């Protein structure tokens, strides 16, 4: 995601926006959504979009330093801050993606502070389902967040979470380019399952493996594709062997452009996080016609209705997950109804549904900043 050239003469109404987020080198929900936004924004004549990765690559031979543990964090952070210092002054609005805990300190915090230093309006696009725990336990989080002009969350869930701390947030949904996914009607479901969350502890892919043991007891030929990677990868593969599972494929990282084929090849989507916000994978499953079994973690009940758009269970309950998955295999009417409702539901997450929200927000922040600067100039003139 390279920047558009800065040498072209821009129309006077153009808003220059710097989007600060993970690159696809850190494959996950934030990186995928940032990539989609940049792609769409670059088609807008009223915007000039720059992309600043939180994980920049060092040039040439210096890049080898990023292969050394601990050294990697230091040199990447220094490069990131240097690039922010050079680039923030050239933009009207700074759009900052954010996770929680230590990631918040390393990535969003420098961008927020430097935007404040240069007098640039910033919006914090907060995306972690652990907001309450983060804001309660990290003392610097609230003061830092209060420096931004807007807080944007991808779901009503986080809007409600921020309200507990007297912080006003607005919801602009994640969007999915549904044209990239093929809705396939599944009149009779096969026991072909898919999981595609990263192998981090809070996504609890282990719960899916344990559920699959119960499923395979009744459907020995059942298959499970496990996409994703992370620190839990080896432990999950070991658990699969311990459970003596058959037909389980750990396929590692899958790039966004390859995901539609995975959805197309599966008949049931399994999702078992212990905490979450608004997983885009659920919207992608809606668009692909796959009935879903998911936990009710965090913001998921804000985008899922039990027995209408998916089947929901309590967190970390592998027996309930297996029961609901087997229920879908038995009840054809339930499964086809859920899939049809999911397709209708995913329309609210199309680009057309969020485009104007983003464009209006950028213009508003740019104009508010300009009015503030004019007011400051007028006050100085009066003193003179």
Residue reference for tokens 């800065």: 6
Q: Please check whether residues 339 and 363 belong to one and the same domain.
A: no
Q: Please check whether residues 220 and 102 belong to one and the same domain.
A: no
Of the pLDDT bands very low, low, confident and very high (cuts 50, 70, 90), residue 62 is low
* Beta carbons of 334 and 316 less than 8 angstroms apart: no
What is each CA distance from 19 to 66, 164, 380, in whole angstroms?
A: 23, 27, 33
Query: Residue 309's closest CA among 330, 274, 277, 335?
Result: 335
pLDDT confidence of residue 12: 63
Q: Please check whether residues 130 and 189 belong to one and the same domain.
A: no
Q: Please check whether residues 104 and 75 belong to one and the same domain.
A: yes
279 falls within a domain: yes
* Beta carbons of 155 and 302 less than 8 angstroms apart: yes
* Beta carbons of 142 and 159 less than 8 angstroms apart: no
- SS3 for 353? helix
Q: Please check whether residues 234 and 306 belong to one and the same domain.
A: yes
Q: How many domains does the chain have?
A: 2
Q: Say how far apart CA 168 and CA 148 lie, in whole Å.
A: 11
For the segment 165-214, what is each residue's pLDDT rounded down to a tens digit?
999 999 999 988 888 999 999 989 999 999 999 999 999 999 999 999 99
Q: Please check whether residues 202 and 271 belong to one and the same domain.
A: yes
Both structure tokens of 265 = 């090849």
Q: Please check whether residues 187 and 252 belong to one and the same domain.
A: yes
5 falls within a domain: no
Q: Please check whether residues 276 and 372 belong to one and the same domain.
A: no
Q: Please check whether residues 167 and 40 belong to one and the same domain.
A: yes
Alpha helices in 93-167, H assignment, sequence order: 102-106, 108-117, 131-137, 141-145, 156-163
Q: Please check whether residues 160 and 267 belong to one and the same domain.
A: no
Q: Which domain holds residue 71?
A: 15-175+351-383
Q: Please check whether residues 159 and 207 belong to one and the same domain.
A: no
Contacts of 184 (CB under 8 A, 6+ apart): 264, 288, 289
pLDDT confidence of residue 187: 87
Q: Say how far apart CA 175 and CA 158 lie, in whole Å.
A: 16
Q: Please check whether residues 92 and 201 belong to one and the same domain.
A: no
pLDDT at 3 over 60: no
pLDDT at 163 over 60: yes
12 by Cβ neighbours in 10 Å (0-12 / 13-18 / 19+) ranks as exposed
CATH number, domain at 40?
A: 3.40.50.2000
């Amino acid at each position: 995601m390279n920047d558009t050239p800065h040498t072209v003469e821009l129309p006077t109404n153009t808003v220059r926006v710097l989007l600060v987020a993970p690159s696809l080198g850190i494959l996950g929900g934030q990186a995928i959504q940032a990539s989609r936004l940049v792609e769409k924004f670059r088609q807008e004549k009223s915007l000039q979009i720059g992309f600043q990765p939180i994980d920049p690559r060092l040039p040439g031979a210096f890049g080898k330093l990023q292969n050394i543990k601990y050294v990697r964090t230091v040199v990447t952070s220094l490069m990131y801050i240097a690039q922010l210092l050079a680039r923030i002054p050239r933009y009207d609005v700074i759009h900052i993606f954010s996770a929680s805990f230590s990631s918040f300190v390393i990535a969003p915090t420098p961008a927020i502070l430097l935007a404040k230093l240069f007098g640039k309006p910033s919006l914090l696009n907060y995306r972690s389902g652990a907001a309450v725990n983060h804001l309660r336990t990290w003392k610097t989080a609230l003061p830092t967040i209060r420096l931004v002009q807007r807080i944007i969350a991808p779901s009503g869930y986080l809007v409600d979470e921020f309200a507990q701390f007297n912080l006003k947030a607005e919801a602009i949904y994640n969007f999915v380019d549904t044209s990239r996914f093929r809705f396939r009607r599944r009149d009779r479901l096969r026991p072909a399952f898919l999981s595609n969350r990263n192998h981090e502890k809070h996504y609890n892919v282990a719960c899916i493996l344990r559920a699959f043991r119960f499923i395979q007891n009744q459907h020995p030929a059942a298959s499970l594709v496990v996409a994703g990677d992370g620190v839990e990868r080896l432990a999950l593969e070991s658990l699969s062997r311990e459970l003596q599972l058959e037909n389980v494929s750990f396929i590692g990282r899958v790039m966004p452009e390859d995901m539609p084929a995975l959805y197309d090849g599966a008949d049931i989507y399994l999702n078992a996080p212990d905490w979450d916000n608004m997983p885009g994978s659920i919207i992608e499953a809606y668009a692909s016609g796959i009935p879903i079994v998911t936990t009710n973690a965090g913001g998921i009940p804000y985008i899922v209705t039990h027995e209408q758009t998916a089947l929901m269970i309590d967190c970390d309950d592998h027996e309930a997950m297996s029961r609901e998955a087997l229920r879908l295999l038995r009840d054809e009417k339930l499964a086809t109804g859920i899939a049809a409702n999911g397709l209708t539901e995913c329309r609210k997450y199309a680009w057309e549904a969020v485009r104007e929200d983003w464009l209006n927000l950028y213009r508003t922040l740019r104009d508010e900043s300009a009015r503030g600067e004019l007011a400051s100039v007028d006050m100085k003139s009066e003193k003179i």
